[in-house]
Structure 1
Amino acid sequence: MQSWLNVLTLFAGGAAAGLVAGTATCAAAQGGLLMGLVDGCHGRDPALVAWFLAGRLTSYSVAGALLGLLGSAVSLPPRARAALLVAAGVTMIVFAVRLMRRGRCATPVSADAPSRYQAPLLGAATVLVPCGVTLGMEMIAVSSGSPVAGAAAMAGFVVGTAPAFALLGYVLRRLSRTRLARLAGVVAVAAGLWTIGAGINLGGWIGGPVGGPVGGPVGGPVGGTVGGTPPATGSGVQTVTIWATREGYRPAIVTARAGVPVDVVFKLADRGCTGTVTIGGRDIALPATVRLPPQPRGSLRYVCGMGMYTGLINFS
């Protein structure tokens, strides 16, 4: 029987992760979907944001339960997430253009007003556009091995990020009734373009694919040097060390010898988007050590789980 203490611990941990680390990244990646609930006539209805959050809570809890029950088999691969990020960016732009074209409204009723059916559907759709911290929570749900524990972790995460979404919804409702609606629309268009760019980067559709085959995480962190050509260990495996920070990966470019296996030691300085790295078509939660087989001369690219930050390993 699942320990209820463990369930409560996962829920509390998810809430803390959402409040501390997930607020900024998730609001940036998913908050644009709130634009679908705002127009110049009905943007004042606070119940729509509540329905949006209810839909988000439901979809995340179901996803967590499935991940806990079925494991990583139900998680989306990076290329699929990249396509969804592009689709989300396009949707954000469509909503923003609609808001800018409507401007102020003189009539209180409109046939195409946002409905309480549309709101939870948009909230539920946020699970398809995961932010970097969401990916880490999904991996926790997978490792829990329990649908109850997986749902608790994901539900706690939604609760932790709820204040940020509620505040964003309030701001959008207020702006939709003022002359600043067009400015808000311009900002949302920029956010949509940024989301599309992140999806393209994650998918490797510009700048080449993200890495080649990898051996996956191997044990705990091992020693290594940063910069220059790393030495090989006694087993013939060289090591490089990369720090994941809120501003990206440091150093962003490292050098290794071609034709020699390499352990890439990813260390975590800050919780955020870079806490999950996508390399070789796989998502890996950090900190971790990734074993790469011998590589040919050239560059291997990796990105964070949201496609925001990129790093390079040059093999020479």
Structure 2
Amino acid sequence: MPREWKYLGLGMLIGAGIALPLFAGMFLLAPSLSLTPPTPRSGATRSLVTPAPASRVTPQAVTAFPSPTPTVTPTFTPTPTAIAGARRSAVSAFATSTPLNPADLTEPLIIGPLTKEQQERLYRVSLRYRAPTVEESIPLAKEINGVGYGHPSNICGPLAISILRDAGLVGADVRPYDFWLLNPGVPEDRRILERTFPPERFLHFETKEPLYRIDWRSFPLKPGDFLYIKSGTGGNFDHMLVVTRVDEEGRAYSVTNYATTEGFIIDEVMLYDPDDPTAGIFRTWTEHPYAMLGATGFGGFELWRPQVCRYCP
């Protein structure tokens, strides 16, 4: 045998001896090298379910007292549209008398400083400011305030002073805007009241008694009276108005703004009936503290009453 073959055979034998243990090891380790994917740990899987959104709470509708039935024939143009549907139902708290023609007023309607002619003029002027629907009251409020952003919800002061001005009971230079959100507790506003109602021409009364405690037979309101009604404890707004007429039964009325189930309107409303303490808007405003659509008068009121009608024609 040649020497080269001898060394070649010896080398192959050595190589086989080395390779055999390697192949055996691979064969034994193969089961532990399985390619099966691992099982995830409990809780590691991310949920794909989107939580249901929380249900919304639908606000409940606010129940308001019905609006009054207007009974006064308007004299301004455009003529107010008649109120239909539920608003035709009258509530005793807002009841008005039968339609009254200013020419039918007789003297004396009540004991007071104004003559028959002056009372007629005041009443006739007040009818021009009636807006017995929400649609009419909004533009009228803007016109009264004179600045483009008046609203029937807070036009009471400018409305009342406009009626007095046009009736000649206060000076023609009085600005309705000055009475918008007026507060007698503010010094500047108190000075406005003093200029508009000087003591030499107006009597001033003040009481802290709630409206429902006033004996309107002993202390009747009179045409031309300007009232600042204070909310007091239990009230949610102050209010200003002018008494525009008093009928033969002693019931007082005002053309003023107030809330209804459909919104704020401007219309004639009975303030009180001296023979029925449950009637009139004064009673309604003090019947339930913090009422949603109006509670005031728990803190009494201030009153200015004309004595000398300097500006009347």
Does the pair score TM above 0.5? no
TM-score scaled by structure 2?
0.21
Larger helix share, 1 or 2: 1
Structure showing greater Rg? 2
TM-score scaled by structure 1?
0.20
